Amino acid sequence: MKNVLGLGGTGFVGAPVCEMLLRHGWQVTVPTRQRSNAQLLHLSLPEVQVLELDVHDEAALTQALSGQQAVVNLVAILHGTLDTFEKVHVVLPQKLALACGAAGVRQLVHLSALGADAQQPAAAPSMYLRSKGRGEAVLLRAASSGAQAGLELTILRPSVIFGAQDKFLNVFARLQKVLPVMPLAGATTRFQPVWVEDVARAVVRSLEPAGTTCASKHPQILELCGPDVYTLRELVQLSARLSGVRGGRGRPVLALPRWFGRLQATLMELAPGEPMMSRDNLDSMQIDNVASGKVPGLSYLGITAASLVPIASAYLGSR
């Protein structure tokens, strides 16, 4: 039996990844700070082993990696301060690399983000993308030196991820059911949405032995993108059409100037709970979220990327 530790296994991406790993013969262990956080995952996938621990505790993380052949890191945040981005996207990968060296784990798949740059992380426009780039750099250095040298590292950079449980198209559709108009910052930013199931396939394929799907082995970076490019405005309009808002016509989209968008995001940050949009999100949208063509994509892993419309119409149409 092949054993894998799945950090972030209880989330939107984590559940499909765990399911696909199980189907491919992996024994999956998911660490979580509180066991109750994994209740839904355990109900749908009872074969998953749930381990209660703090993944930021390096000693506990090392112990959890004992006996594992591989680890998948899906832990990420979209909103936060400079310190919280650093803790989650940089310090945790650093601890994970050290723990892999101490526990003898030889394979690591790390989910990063399209737009991150390990070579020039400071050049990215947002705290989110800069921290993602620094996290990549930490892992790449670890895989080439010290006790972790030889670590089979795969870094996956997805564009925005869509799926039945996403907080992207679903949110746009829900808002248009109640708002008379859709005020939208970053309306012209382009995205290349990727299906969550294709992301899960990429994780599993990255863990397969050398020579089965990849021409060369690690470390490697891949961009995970769908076949279609949309502006944010087009995605908002598409969500309305597929969910039947106003007979598919949706609401008028009001593109906001940058200064007004930042004001809107500031007010959203002050509201209770997780913000729908933050100023840092807007900073990320200063650059298009599409494949650069400089590194391989899903086809390198033998995966044909799914188009958004047939899949999104199935789950948005049932709203």
Q: Is residue 211 pLDDT above 50, yes or no?
A: no
pLDDT at 147 (0 to 100): 62
pLDDT per residue as tens digits for the range 268-318: 888 888 888 899 999 999 999 999 999 999 999 999 999 999 999 999 986
pLDDT at 43 (0 to 100): 85
Please report which confidence band the pLDDT of residue 32 belongs to, taking 50, 70 and 90 as the band edges: very high
- Residue 217 is assigned to a structural domain of this protein: yes
**182 and 266 fall within a common domain:** yes
Phi and psi at residue 230, in whole multiples of 5°? -135, 150
- Residue 295 is assigned to a structural domain of this protein: no
Strands 152-158 and 220-224, sheet pairing: parallel
pLDDT at 288 (0 to 100): 97
Q: Is residue 19 pLDDT above 60, yes or no?
A: yes
Beta bridge partners of 29: 5, 49
Between residues 246 and 75, the one the model is more confident about: 75
**166 and 201 fall within a common domain:** no
List the CATH number of the domain containing 76: 3.40.50.720
pLDDT at 25 (0 to 100): 95
- Residue 254 is assigned to a structural domain of this protein: yes
Instruction: Of 186, 189, 188, 220, give the one whose Cα is nearest residue 202.
Output: 220
Average pLDDT, stretch 221-225?
97
Average pLDDT, stretch 61-74?
96
Question: Between 308-316 and 169-178, two packed helices, what is the crossing angle to 10 degrees?
Answer: 50
Please report which confidence band the pLDDT of residue 217 belongs to, taking 50, 70 and 90 as the band edges: low
**136 and 269 fall within a common domain:** no
Instruction: Of 278, 305, 315, give the one whose Cα is nearest residue 192.
Output: 305
**131 and 252 fall within a common domain:** no
pLDDT at 276 (0 to 100): 84
Rounded distance between C-alpha atoms, residue 109 and residue 298, angstroms: 15
Q: What is the 3-state secondary structure (H, E, C) of the chain?
A: CEEEEEECCCCCCHHHHHHHHHHCCEEEEEEECCHHHHHHHHHHCCCCEEEECCCCCHHHHHHHHCCCCEEEECCCCCCCCHHHHHHHHHHHHHHHHHHHHHHCCCEEEEECCCCCCCCCHHHCCCHHHHHHHHHHHHHHHHHHCHHHCCCEEEEEEECCEECCCCCCHHHHHHHHHHCCCEEECCCCCEECCEEHHHHHHHHHHHCCCCCCCCCCCCCEEEEECCCCCEEHHHHHHHHHHHHCHHHHCCCCEEECCHHHHHHHHHHHHHCCCCCCCCHHHHHHCCCCECCCCCCCCHHHHCCCCCCHHHHHHHHHCCC
- Residue 204 is assigned to a structural domain of this protein: yes
Q: Is residue 195 pLDDT above 60, yes or no?
A: yes
Average pLDDT, stretch 167-189?
94
Strands 230-231 and 190-191, sheet pairing: antiparallel
- Vertex 91 angle, CA 88 and 96, to 5°: 95
User: Do residues 18 and 48 make contact, with C-beta atoms less than 8 angstroms apart?
Assistant: yes
**16 and 123 fall within a common domain:** yes
Rounded distance between C-alpha atoms, residue 44 and residue 181, angstroms: 38
pTM, whole model, 2 decimals?
0.94
Q: Which two tokens stand for residue 317?
A: 């149409």
Residue entry with tokens 């530790």: 5
**186 and 82 fall within a common domain:** no
pLDDT at 318 (0 to 100): 62
Between residues 53 and 271, the one the model is more confident about: 53
Between residues 1 and 13, the one the model is more confident about: 13
Count how many domains the chain has: 2
Host domain of residue 57: 2-161+195-224
**35 and 166 fall within a common domain:** no
- Residue 238 is assigned to a structural domain of this protein: yes
- Residue 296 is assigned to a structural domain of this protein: no
pLDDT per residue as tens digits for the range 98-152: 999 999 999 999 999 999 999 999 999 999 999 999 999 999 999 987 666 678 9
- Vertex 253 angle, CA 192 and 229, to 5°: 15
A 10 A CB-CB count for 6 gives: 28
**17 and 35 fall within a common domain:** yes
Beta bridge partners of 52: 32
pLDDT per residue as tens digits for the range 137-169: 999 999 987 666 678 999 999 999 999 999 999
Average pLDDT value over all residues in the chain: 92
pLDDT at 40 (0 to 100): 87
Q: Is residue 212 pLDDT above 60, yes or no?
A: no
